[in-house]
Every structure is written in C-alpha cells, then in structure tokens.
Amino acid sequence: MSLTVRRLGPADITAARALNALYADAFEDPETYRRETPDDAWLAHQLAKPTIILLVAEVEGSIAGGLTAYILDKLEAARSEIYLYDLAVAEAHRRRGVATALIEELQHIAADTGAWAVFVQADYADPPAIALYTRLGVREEVLHFDLPPLPRPEATDEDIR
C-alpha cells in the first residue's frame, strides 16, 4: 500500500468534498457533513486560511482517510495550539497506519508553525480512537460541554427610555 499524506489548499475543493463524504460515512452523520454543503467559493476561502488544516491520506489516488484541525492562537502566552477536530479512515483502510500517518504529519506541521501542542478529544464510546491517542500522547480526563448560542434579546421601548 503506497500511502501519501498531503495538505489541501484552495484548489482542492473536490478532495475537501470527498473528505466530508468520508466523515459522513465514518461518523454515520450525514446530517452534519452532507446536509448544508458550502459552495465552491466558500470552501476555497476556508482552504486558503493558514489556521485551517485539512490533511488527506491517499492510496492510489483515492482518499483513504483525513483530518481537520485548527490552529488556535493563545493570549496567555505567545504560542498556539492545534486542535485536531475530525479524523476518519475509510473502513477498508483501517488498522494500516493511515490515522497514525495523518497525525504524524499534523505533528510535523505543529513543529513547523511553532505550535505548543496538538490536542484532540475522544468519546468514551470510541475505544479504537482512545487506544490510538493513548499510544501517541498523554491522556487527560476532562469534561466537554456544548454551550448553545444565545441570540441577544430585542430592545423594547422601555429599554430605550
């Protein structure tokens, strides 16, 4: 198996769409990854941002896996961290080092950009991900909370007085 890992750029719209399709299948979540697909201009704009990292692992020209990560600049110190947000490998290519190759390339990008660390979350219900991340890094027990956006209340006449 000849595996190539590369970072997507603004011209890689087709590959970005293929990666989202892979995420939809791997995460069994077409609602998130296929319902509201962005247009080409929006996707190219996002792919051009240096703080967004999309990596794909290709085998014979087909996407076998990929990851999405974000560079987060910190305020408490002159440094950044990279948040590995999504990582998936097509079922036919699992347990062949694809995820490890993707993460290692992300670690190289972290070193190249001077990032302090790469961090990732895993669900308790995903033992393969937990095993992978445990093998590659230091495990921390944390809680994760999703806080909903809150629209601002409309101003009333009484508020204006």
Judge whether residue 34 has pLDDT over 80. no
Is 131 strand, coil or helix? Answer: helix
Diameter of the chain measured on Cα atoms = 72
Residues 6+ apart with CB under 8 A from 36: none
Neighbours of 75 (CB within 10 A): 5
Sequence ranges of the domains in the chain: 3-139
Contact in structure between 22 and 90 (CB atoms under 8 Å): yes
Q: What's the pLDDT at 133?
A: 82
Task: For residues 20 and 106, give the distance between their C-alpha atoms in angstroms, rounded to a whole number.
Answer: 18
Kindly provide the b/e burial profile for residues 29-60, where b requires at least 16 CB atoms within 10 angstroms of the residue's own CB.
Answer: eeeebeeeeeeeeebbeebeeeeebbbbbbbe
Q: How far apart are CA 125 and CA 135, in angstroms?
A: 17
State residue 45's pLDDT score: 97
> Do β-strands 80-89 and 117-120 pair in parallel, antiparallel, or remain unpaired?
parallel
Mean pLDDT of the chain: 89
Mean pLDDT along residues 48-54: 97
List pLDDT tens digits, range 107-140. 999 999 999 999 988 888 787 888 878 877 877 7
What's the one-letter identity of residue 62?
S
DSSP H helices in the chain: 13-26, 30-34, 40-48, 98-113, 127-136, 157-160
On the question of pLDDT at 160 being above 80, the answer is: no
Q: What fold is seen in the domain 3-139?
A: Aminopeptidase (3.40.630)
Whether pLDDT at 102 is above 70: yes
On the question of pLDDT at 11 being above 70, the answer is yes
Overall pTM surpassing 0.75 (yes/no)? yes
pLDDT score for 131: 80
